[in-house]
Amino acid sequence: MTKTILLADAGYEAAAAALAAEYSDLSVICPGDGADASALASGDVIGLIADTAAVDEALLNALPNLQAVLKLGRSYFNIDVEAVRRRGLSFGCVPRKGPNCVAELAMTLIMALSKDLVVSNDAVALGAYRYRGLKPELTAERKIAFHWMHNTRVHEVVGKTLGIIGMGEIGCELARRASVMGMRNLYYKRSRLSAELEGVFDATYAELDDLLRQSDYVCIATPHTPATERMIGAEQIALMKDSAYIVNIARGGIVDEEAMIAALVEDRIAGAGLDVFTYEPLPADSPLCSLDNVILCPHIGGGSGTNRNIELGAALAEMSRMLAS
């Protein structure tokens, strides 16, 4: 007997069709573009999956035989969790591929900046030890050339403060990773997360100016809209510590690139890790290309690309487990 699963968001029809044979025990229904999930609500539905669609008491009441609710993504800001709990429903979350990939790159850039990795690599590969009057010697357990290039920017991230601008799925995934690394998470978002979600992601809300003043790393993870165009400009950068770093894995236009370059050149901030730029590909004559306190990537944050089949497949596998338990 097939189990009817309602996917509350539009846009998943193709993925559901592609996965139908693999999950033949599940009958996945989802609204078309512009349609509402409530139109598909019935007593046949026993599982509900939602990405960003609102799951409120009205929708839950229209599903009298519902057994489980699953959030596609870890930030369940759109779920009325109290209504779910009052019904005694199983509730779970599964990570999404896209946000995971971008959060991985953000954490990679933070770690690489903390170890001055590009400069360190170049120093070794180019044999820069010669400029320090050193020569290679056979090493042993207690005979090594520790820190032979004396990189002044090398430090540990434990105890450092990460300020995340934009606390959607990417920001939440990044906060989880940073917390494991021993970092303190601050975040800024137009709509503050619930106290429950702040606890889940070990993140504390701060107004933007306070976040900029306190953070050792400022990561931009917000959408590029008219409201966020150049939201990090000269005035905002001036609030940052001279030991702080900018990490941008969102969109280039959110940061005033010229103001950031000026701050980097004048050592008013320590460095930057950038996957996105005002113009892409980054023009070869950009001053960013010649700065040794910047790590550049060719917009690779999305990994191998967003794949709804993979994301929905993970959700259906988890839903099957939830319904079987």
Q: What pLDDT, on a 0 to 100 scale, did the predictor assign at position 54?
A: 97
Helices (H) and strands (E) in the chain, counts: 11, 12
23-78 pLDDT, tens per residue?
999 999 999 887 889 999 999 999 999 999 999 999 999 999 999 999 999 999 99
- Which residues are catalytic, by number? 251, 280, 299
Query: Cβ(157)–Cβ(114) under 8 Å?
Result: yes
Residue 204 in tokens: 């504390």
Q: What pLDDT, on a 0 to 100 scale, did the predictor assign at position 278?
A: 98
Give every CB contact of residue 151 below 8 A, 6+ residues apart in sequence: 116, 119, 120, 123
166-203 pLDDT, tens per residue?
999 999 999 999 999 999 999 999 999 999 999 999 99
Average pLDDT over residues 111-127: 97
Domains of the chain: 3-94+307-324 (3.40.50.720), 100-116+153-292 (3.40.50.720)
226-255 pLDDT, tens per residue?
999 999 999 999 999 999 999 999 999 999
Inform me whether the pLDDT recorded for 102 exceeds 80.
yes
Q: What is the pTM of this model?
A: 0.96
Give backbone dihedrals phi and psi of 316, rounded to 5 degrees, phi first.
-70, -35
268-317 pLDDT, tens per residue?
999 999 999 999 999 999 999 999 999 999 999 999 877 899 999 999 99
Query: Cβ(163)–Cβ(213) under 8 Å?
Result: no
| β partners of residue 29 | 6
